[in-house]
Structure 1
Amino acid sequence: MSLSIILVCLWGVVANVIAMTPSKDHHWRNAYILIAVGIPLVGFVTAQHGPWIGLLVLAGGCSVLRWPVIYLMRWLRRSVTQTRGPAE
């Protein structure tokens, strides 16, 4: 296995261990840290193994961090509907 795949697997194990621990802020601080570490890892995997494996790793990360992705989609949908003018 390559270094990038090993690091992504380690990231997944750490994310699951963090999810099992109690948290006062519902794991949002941990989610920000996992996102900050995960984005360069996706780029590293993509550089070593190509875009298809990179997309698989990205999908895996989105499934682990689903609530930040859901809130991002809600925020984007809300910002698109607010920018439309009163004529619509």
Structure 2
Amino acid sequence: MSLSLVLACIWALAANLLAMMPSRDNHWRRAYALIAVGIPILGYVTWQNGPWVGLFVLAAGMSLLRWPVIYLGRWARRAVGGDVARGGD
């Protein structure tokens, strides 16, 4: 197993351990830290193992950090004007 995949596994383990601990801010600070650390690891995985493995690691990270992804999607939909699709004015 390559070093980049070992780092990605350690990141996933840390994300799971951090999710088990209680938090006053619903884990948002931890999510920001995991995103900041995870993006370079994702780039390293993609560079070392190819785009398909990088997409798999991206999907795994998105499943662990699903609420930031959901809020990003909602923000992007509002920014593009997705209210029209829901029948809003």
Q: Show the counterpart of 1:14.
A: 14
CA deviation profile, 1:20-78 (whole Å, cap 9, x unmatched): 00000000000000000000011000000000000000000000000000000000001
Residue 52 of structure 2: aligned partner: 52
Between the aligned partners of 2:65 and 2:46, the Cα distance in structure 1 is: 19
2:24 partner SS: coil
- Whole-angstrom distance in 2 between the partners of 1:59 and 1:40: 15
- Report the Cα distance in structure 1 between the residues aligned to 2:69 and 2:63, rounded to whole angstroms: 9
Residue 15 (structure 1) shift = 0.2
Normalised to the residue count of structure 1, the TM-score between the two structures is 0.92
Q: CA RMSD in A?
A: 1.5
Residue identity opposite 1:44 in structure 2: Y
Structure-2 residue corresponding to 1:43: 43
* Structure 1 alignment gaps of length 5 or more: none
Rounded to whole Å, the distance in 2 between the matches of 1:2 and 1:79 is 39
- Aligned equivalent of 2:31: 31
